[in-house]
Structure 1
Amino acid sequence: MAKPTRKPSLPLLGEAATQLRSRPGRRRDSAQPNLPLDPMPARIEPCLALLKPRPPKGPQWTYEVKWDGYRLAVHIEPSGVRILTRGGHDWTERFPAILAEARRLPVSTAILDGEAVVLDSQGRSDFGMLQQSLGGRGGKRTSRDSIFMAFDLLYFDGHDLTGTELSARRHLLEGLVPAGSEDAIRLSEEVDADGEQLLRVACEHGLEGIIAKDRNSPYRSGRLGDWVKIKCVQSDGFAIIGYEKSTASFGGIGRLLLAARQGNELIYVGGVGTGFNERSASELREQMDTLIIAKSAVDTGRKRNAVFIEPKLVAEIEYRAWTHDGKLRHASYKGLREAADQASVYEVP
């Protein structure tokens, strides 16, 4: 079937019905420099989410799922790819699948901000599975199961994007990492929904929570409120100050003794006796036994059959609430935080 003849477009006419023509510009001077490129930073301190009890309201807020893993920055340069932890440690060789996929991305220079996770059979991020894939805290194993959920783009093809609003950064990121990818680098997709409704659905599906981000904000390092996290279940880092022995429990750990920070001091906030399996308890006991001290670094009251350690290990603890006397309720052990992940101890208000 022959295509219909296309009519030529009408010329743009001025007020006097005369065709308008552009003025010829000057030829570009070949000696004139191109637009300047921004030097690529060696590292950018991450933007951190501020914990809030409820999602913020307003048209400027956009939402994502909260991933439970290790915060990473993927630096793509002509000389190669670097994968840095939140604390600036180079973990490039520990994530071979993410490294290989970063090399395949169609870009010459970039810094991607995101989270390394391991997904369970339901597609939920599982911090314990991630730790096991890396060989536990202090382990040196490479994780071939980890994927990188990219949620921001800080540097792109020679240009620093940190001063640009989030909506523009996301637009460029979505062009680099398409939605729906099943590769080792995937897009953490924005969800267009009411915050309260999204949180309810996230909690019903067993997710950790959601993140709200101000779409008009630049990328600012630190916990300044541009990003907000709302959790289904509370989960924070607490210092391990000892454990109560038990012959009937994994690793001989009946209960971990925990402390939070209050000003410049640590205070006792109770213990946790669930969440362990045989492997995690054995690895934890091995590390704790290298830190044993004669007297507790924190006032725990009278404890029978307790072993005290230096407060150098930070455990991620999931809990439902606090008791009236400042102790954790319904606590469960999730794993040890890495020093490279800048593990912070919960600060009592």
Structure 2
Amino acid sequence: MARTPRSKPLLQDSDAPIRSKPRRRRDPAQPNLLLDHMPRRIEPSLCLLKAKPPEGPDWAYEIKWDGYRLSIHIEPKGIRILTKNGHDWTNRFPEIEEGARELGVASAIIDGEAVMYDDQGRSDFSLLQSSLGGRAGKTTSPAQFMAFDLMYLDGHDLTKMELRVRRHLLEELISGRPDSAIKFSEAFHVTGAELFRASCDHGLEGIIAKHLGRPYRSGRLGDWVKVKCIQSESFFIVGYERSAGTFRSLMLGAYRGDQVVYVGSVGTGFKMREMSQLRSMMNKLRWTGKKPPVPYAGKRDIVWVAPTIIVEIEFRGWTSEGKLRHSSYKGRRKIQDNAAVYRIKE
């Protein structure tokens, strides 16, 4: 009977030390494919407000979208859609969530803005705001996500790359999907002054100028600049003027240092349903102090309320007395949207 041959032993009895096969030097022309840790959240890059757009070949110009700033996180465990302040609003934007799922990438973080459009095709914050449900609500109409930056893709941190590279990768990622809720925010090959003039002529809010050579940096550092046709800021409601129905106008407040001060009123731009909702909210916040919550020398019949509700107001400038000029109500802001109440410059 033939004997079964023994396998060659893994370790030999030898005086020679065991050595691994020499490793060749890495070709420096080959890319480094080590994966980067995916952050749970990236603080957004914010726009610095200026009166005129910067000019030159290093700047790209986009339309300023009038919506909610969001970031889409595509992760192995699923999709997260975060607000500017880091709150999870995934369930409010099912169409955007589905569009992100269809991109077919393992991981990504995309910066952009959720928008809805009016009858003339302009993004309209008030439409989007009114379409959002309660704490667990969803949009009643489909919103679109205008993507304008890419911070992370398939295991690679892109924040240190130039904007021109990030936008090239972003356009390749989301192009060719005409039915998707995720769209690429186009940059226009014109001067900043030309695009700003055209946006104002078409009744848009303004433009954004972005430096193509900069990395993605969180905060308001001047890499991104916004120029507005119509000023739009967030203010506190500090009271309302009585009327037979809901209210005649809202009294508005802003910060001067640490103090809230009166900056005028707004009486246009409301829908009846919004007026009823606001009146109900204000009735629960009636001011009980002996003095108004803000210094006020007027003679109107005002019901004062605690400065808690934040609203978005369009206006054409400031009067010499420091009050808003030609103001119009746009909608109520939510704390989750990181609504920053306007601060008066000293």
Same fold (TM over 0.5): yes
Aligned to 1:254: 248
CA drift of 1:347 comes to 1.0
- Give the TM-score of the pair, scaled to structure 1: 0.87
Q: Secondary structure at 1:63's aligned position in 2?
A: strand
Contact 1:180/1:187, CA 8 A, preserved across alignment: no
Contact 1:179/1:187, CA 8 A, preserved across alignment: no
Q: Distance in 2 between matches of 1:181 and 1:264?
A: 48
Q: Distance in 1 between matches of 2:150 and 2:201?
A: 30
Give the counterpart of 2:281 among 278, 287, 308: 287
Q: Which amino acid in the other structure matches residue 321 of structure 2?
A: D
Aligned to 1:324: 320
Give the counterpart of 1:243 among 229, 240, 244: 240
CA drift of 1:58 comes to 1.7
1:264 paired with 2:258, answer yes
159-168 or 138-147, which moves further after superposition? 138-147
Larger Rg: 2
1:347 paired with 2:343, answer yes
- Give the TM-score of the pair, scaled to structure 2: 0.88
Q: Which amino acid in the other structure matches residue 127 of structure 1?
A: F
Contact 1:81/1:103, CA 8 A, preserved across alignment: yes
1:215 paired with 2:195, answer no
Query: C-alpha deviations, 1:269-296, integer Å up to 9, x for none?
Result: 1101111010111111121111111242
Query: C-alpha deviations, 1:312-338, integer Å up to 9, x for none?
Result: 111100000110010001000001111
Q: Distance in 1 between matches of 2:97 and 2:280?
A: 32
Q: Distance in 2 between matches of 1:317 and 1:163?
A: 36
Give the counterpart of 2:109 among 71, 95, 111: 111
Give the 5 Å matches for 1:156-305: 156-178=153-175, 181-247=178-244, 252-295=246-289, 296-305=292-301
Query: C-alpha deviations, 1:202-249, integer Å up to 9, x for none?
Result: 1111111100000001111111100000011000011111111112xx
Query: C-alpha deviations, 1:135-162, integer Å up to 9, x for none?
Result: 3xx5542014211110000000101111
CA drift of 1:122 comes to 2.2
Q: Distance in 2 between matches of 1:140 and 1:275?
A: 27
Q: Distance in 2 between matches of 1:120 and 1:261?
A: 32
> Structure 1: which 5+ runs fail to align?
1-24, 29-33
Contact 1:268/1:299, CA 8 A, preserved across alignment: yes
Q: Distance in 2 between matches of 1:253 and 1:153?
A: 45
CA drift of 1:124 comes to 1.1
Q: Which amino acid in the other structure matches residue 297 of structure 2?
A: G
Give the 5 Å matches for 1:39-188: 39-135=37-133, 140-143=136-139, 144-178=141-175, 181-188=178-185
Q: CA RMSD in A?
A: 1.7
Q: Which amino acid in the other structure matches residue 73 of structure 1?
A: S
Q: Secondary structure at 1:99's aligned position in 2?
A: helix
